[in-house]
Each structure stands twice: as structure tokens, then as C-alpha cells.
Structure 1
Amino acid sequence: MIQVTLCLVCAVHALAAQPSLDQVRELLSKGSRHSAVAMLRRIVAADPRNADAHIMLGTTLALEGSRSDSIQQLTEAVRLKPDSAEAYRALGMALARFVETKAAREAFEKAIELNPRLAGAHLDLSLILAQSGEWSLAREHLDRAIQIQGDTPAAARAYYLRAGIHGEQNELEAALADLERAVQLRPDFAEAWSDLGAVKRNLLDDAGALTALERSVRIDPKNGKAQFRLGSEYLHGRKPHLAVEHLRQALRLDPDDRATLYNLQMALRANGQGEEAKRVEARIAELLRQRSLASKTAIQAAKLNNEGVEMEKTGNLHAALERYRAALELDPEHGGFRLNLGLVLCRLGRWDEGIAEIREVVRRYPDNAEATKALYIALEQRLKTPASVETPAEKPVR
């Protein structure tokens, strides 16, 4: 009996020494992801059937950009808890982050099948559907999310996303109603205020547009689109001094945006600042000159890139590398050429150079899903592959 008691006491002490998920949550709340991952690995090593720990570990690894490890942990979580909608949703979110769109869609659909009232899964799935242009189906899931969330601040995002779908289909009155509801539920929703201002402007409600755009900029002064919209609205309303202020701010956030430059030079002229307007006009002319030059070299650059693609297919990676470099020299702004250069560098085992090129594509074109996916794969493969080994990479871009 004494031995049993001693064993129980030892077990209690051992459990007390084990890290807990609450401790992990505390670390994550402080931004200590690295420490949280280390603690979660200890938890799953001690208790491999702890599905919640696998979910938390997989989700944290996804935020860290660790593609395969994240998906592996979350796949294990759904194996351990096959009836958990939350586990499938977590898996779907990680897959979506790594641009595994088809698999993410299937995970979200499974989550909804298991729990039709999981509003977050409806929202997540609507985004995947909207990306593929399935507007009606996306709207159905947003309708369902709104129905579930009711009159709560959480529903504001669903209203905002549904307004975007209405806008894509030129249903401005419906978009207006949804955006007004979004800002009513969440008065600090800067993006919704900005889009509300744009819709009101299109519906010729200039006073309402100005009020909404001013509200958006007050909430988030670093939103370049809102600054541009507000500056343009002031210009339209013949308040050039105010237009100049906000268009300058928009230009700081996006120095080469031609629409901002054009409106800024008009506002400067209207405000009596002719010399500065001339400098802005010269910048516009320079950008147009660069664009014209780029169009003249585009055909030759595309020819070099396509030659590189064919050479890469036959395994002549070094020749492909030279073609991609030549194409990029003619058109440095072309994301596809730079991505091909990065991919072939990775295939040649020159990981740091290749990853740097792919990172630059993602930086310049953050919506480029192909480049984002390639970056995650390259980062992962670099850790697994000796530097001297040539490695298969993603299919080159024509």
C-alpha cells in the first residue's frame, strides 16, 4: 500500500513538472513562438495522443512558416480527433497559408460537415471559393456565417466580405447595406469605412463618402488606399490643400503609384504649387518612359525566358540560369522571370541566392500565390538538402 502511495505521489510530481497548454498559451500571448514550439514538442513527445497539443503545435509552426511539419502535426490531430470540426478547420487554415488551396477547401468542407454552425469555417471556405470566382457559393457560406454570428462584432467581417462579392458583381446598393452593417457592428473597422466611402462615391453620395473616408483614415493613417481615396475626394470637392496632404501621405506609402501621382499634381496645381506640380509631372513622365521601354524589350525578354524553360525541361540548368538572368536584365520588374531564376538556383543547390530571388517576388507581389508556395517549399527543402545536391523545384513559369 505504501509503495502504491509513493508511486501516485511520484506520478503527481511528474505531471506537475510537465509543461501545460496554458503555459504555452501564455508564451504565445507574449509572442514567444520559439519557446512555445519547444514546449509543445515536449508535450507531444510525452503524450503523443494529445490532439489539442498537436493542433496548437501545428498552428504555431504554420505561423513560423514550417510547412511540412505544420501540416504533419495537424494531420495527426485530425487522425486522433476525426470528429473535431476545429481540428479540420486548423488544418484547413494551415493548408491555405501554404497555398494548398484544394486541400484547404476539402478540410474546411469537412469541418462544416462535422459542425455546420462553425462560423469561422464558413468564412474560411468563402475566401477559398471567392479566389476561384465561385461567387454564389461563397456568398452562401457568408450568409450562413452571418446567420450564426448574429448581431455581434464578429459578424462584421462576414458582412465586409459579402460586400466585396456584391461589389464584384456590381450590386452597389447591396454592398452599401453590408458595409454600413459592418461598421455599425465594428466602429473601428478601418477597411470597411474605406470601402464604404468608395461605394458612396460611386452612388454619388459625396458627403457620405467624405465622412466615411475621413473616419477610415483617422482609425488607420497607414492605409494607403484610404489616404488616396480621401485625397481624391477632397480634390473632387475642390479642397486642394487637404487633397495635397492626403495624397502626399498615400505617395509615401506607394511612391510609384501613377494614379496617386496624377491626382497629386492636379491638387498641387489647384493649390497654387506649380513648381512642385512640375516635379511630380516629371516623375509621371519618367515612369511612362520606363513603361514604354519595358514594353519594347518585353518580347525579347519573354523569348529568353521561354528558352530557359525549355532548357530546364531537358536538364540543362546552367544554360537555363543564364537565359533567366538575361530575361530579368531586360525586364527587372517581371515577377515570373525572377521566380524562374530563383527556382533554378534552388535546383542547382544555390539555396540562399534562390530563396532571396523568390522572397523578392513575394515582397513585390504579395498576392502571387505561386511564389508564396514556392518560397515555403524552398525554405523547407534547404534544411533537408546538402548544398551540393541539385534538387527538383517547382515548374518554371512561361
Structure 2
Amino acid sequence: MLLNAKRYHEARVEYLNAIGSDPEHAWAHCRLGVCFALLGTRDEALEHAFKGIRLMPEWAGTHYQLAWILNHLGEKKEAERSVRDALTREPHFTEAFVLLAWIYLDRDRLEEGIVAAEQAIELDPGCAEAFNIQGIATLQLGKLDDAEKALTTALRIEPENPTSHANLGYVFLHRGDWRTAEMHFRNALRLDPNFQYALLGYKEILRGKHPVIRWIIEQRLWFDRQPRGFGLFALGILLIVIYAIAFLLRAFTEAGN
């Protein structure tokens, strides 16, 4: 409860007391590791996570906690390895599939992230977070209809989820439906006033009040939805056009002389 309330220092004391009472309390070591990770103390976080695994090496939960810590610390490759260790021990571990999906998204492996999210949904059709991951991944792939479907489902499961509202805001922003996008960003900020992801989207809406700025944003959003490699292709075309214009101008100048 203290961790969910972001009272990390108090949670740390609570788990330290639990370990003081029972030094071989594997779960307390793992959760203490999470506290240290959230407090930005890497070495202590990993020390307690590995201690939990040594105490209960065959329990999927200890490997999952280590994977969460590694992912939070930005060590994605090691996090993937640890979450797979958890799934080896418990193949029906919904939270582990969700974490694996996030890791794939962070590593720009979007299709694999969608598959991992689908595996979580098969185990728990009410997992709003998995639908959110699907929505984010399909949005990044430019599949706006699939993104809207997944995120609408997430919102139906958890109507007061600021992440679902923010993600839907970006879907409608990409569609050019600025009014609906603004509504979802406002709802996200109503639920979490400090939600930076939603705040960035809402600022785009405010900047887009100017028609020229809106046109620029819309072109950028369109560009973002194009397949990988499109940017290099477009840059190549642009350079060819610039070179052709320069060549023609030079030819006209020489002809005039």
C-alpha cells in the first residue's frame, strides 16, 4: 500500500523491519529492492533482489521482482532475461507477460510487444494495462483503428485510468480530431494533474490553436506514422530535388550570361 501511494521511504522502513524480524523473508527482500530502485539506489536494489532469489530460487515472484527492478533501472536486456526466468517457473503469470510487453516496447520491438500483451489478455481478459500496451504499440505502427479499439477496451475496463485517456488522446491527435483528443487529455490530467505524458499532448493541442502551427504538427504526426526507413527515403528525395533545383538555377544563370 505504501509503495502504491508513492511513500517510498516509509515502505523501505516497513520492509527493513520485516527483514529484521525474519532475515530470510524473500518477499520482503524483493520489495525492499523495489523501494531502493524507486529511490534511485541501484546497488542496494539489486542486492536485495538477488538475496530474495537466493532464498527462493524456484519462485517465479522473486525473478519477476528482479526483472521489474532491472527494467526500472534501464537494464532492458537483463530485465528480459529475468522475466523469462519467471515465466519458465510460472507460464501463466499475467504480470510477467505485461512486463515483458513493456520491455519489448522500450526496445522498439513493437510486434513482439503486441504478442506478449495478447498473451497477458488471454490469461486475464480484464487486464487494462495489456490493452494499453497494445494501443501504444499499434499507434506507433500507424494502425490507428487497432489502437483505438484496444484503448477503448482498456477504458471500458478501467474508466478512470489516466493512461488510457492520454493514449486515446494521442490516437485522436494523429487522426486530426483535435476536439476529442483535447477531451481525453483533459480527462487524463483531471485524474492525474502531474501526468507529463498527458500534459505534453495537451500542450500540443494548445499550440495547435494557431492554424500554421497546427499544420506543422499534423505533418509531423503523419511523418511519425510512416514505416521505418521512410525518413531516410524522404531525405534522399529531398536532396535530389534540392540538387535538381540548384542544377537548373545554375543552367539558367549560365544561359543568361
* TM, length-normalised to structure 2: 0.69
Among candidates 7, 25, 46, match of residue 50 of structure 1: 25
Match of 1:160 among 125, 132, 151: 132
Equivalent position amino acid for 1:35 in 2: V
Equivalent residue for 1:78, pick from 24, 28, 53: 53
| Structure 1 Cα separation of the partners of residues 3 and 98 of structure 2 | 28
For 1:101-180, what aligned pairs fall within 5 Å after superposition? 101-150=76-125, 152=126, 155-180=127-152
Hey, what's the Cα distance between the residues in 1 that align with 2:185 and 2:38?
32
Tell me if structure 2 keeps the 8 A contact 1:61–1:69.
Answer: yes
Residues 1:206 and 1:99: Cα distance change in structure 2 (over 3 Å): closer
1:225 corresponds to 2:208: no
Do 1:200 and 1:206's aligned partners in 2 also have CA atoms closer than 8 Å?
A: yes
Output the CA distance in 2 between the equivalents of 1:74 and 1:55. 5
Native 8 Å contact 1:95 1:104 kept in 2:
yes
- Find the aligned partners of 2:114 and 2:148 in 1 and give their Cα distance: 16
Indicate which of 193, 199, 208 corresponds to 2:171.
199
Change (3 A) 1:193 1:26: closer
TM-aligned CA deviation for residue 82 of structure 1: 2.0
SS where residue 159 of structure 1 aligns? Answer: helix
Q: What CA distance in whole angstroms lies between the structure 2 residues aligned with 1:137 and 1:194?
A: 23
Partners of 2:6 and 2:207 lie apart in 1 by: 40
Structure 2: runs of 5 or more not aligned:
218-257
Give the % identical residues. 20
Partner of 1:368: none
Amino acid at match of 2:191: I
Greater relative contact order (CA < 8 Å, ≥ 6 in sequence):
2
Alignment deviations for residues 87-129 of structure 1 (CA, whole Å, 9 cap, x no partner): 1000111122222222211110111121122111111111222
Q: Counterpart amino acid of 2:52?
A: A
Find 2:188's aligned residue among 216, 240, 251: 216
Please state whether the residue corresponding to 1:36 is helix, strand or coil.
helix
- AA in 2 matched with 1:130: L
Q: What are the superposed Cα offsets for residues 214-272 of structure 1, whole Å, 9 maximum, x if unpaired?
A: 43344344442242244356x37x9xxxxxxxxxxxxxxxxxxxx79x99xxxxxxxxx
Letter paired with 1:181: T
Please name the residue that 1:39 is paired with: 17
One of 62, 75, 95 as aligned partner of 1:87: 62
Runs of 4+ in structure 1 over 6 Å off: 25-30
Taking a change above 3 Å as real, the CA distance of residues 98 and 43 of structure 1, as seen in their structure-2 partners, is farther
Q: Which residue number in structure 2 is paired with residue 279 of structure 1?
A: none
Q: Could you say which structure has the larger radius of gyration?
A: 1
Give the drift of 1:67: 1.9
Aligned length: 210
Q: Per the alignment, do residues 218 and 229 of structure 1 end up closer, same or farther by CA in structure 2, a change over 3 Å counting?
A: farther
Letter in 2 for 1:167: L
The structure-2 alpha-carbon separation of the partners of 1:101 and 1:169, relative to structure 1 and needing over 3 Å to count, comes to same
Gaps of 5+ in 1: 1-24, 239-258, 264-398
Shift of 1:38: 3.7
Residue 205 of structure 1 and its aligned partner are, at CA, apart by 4.3
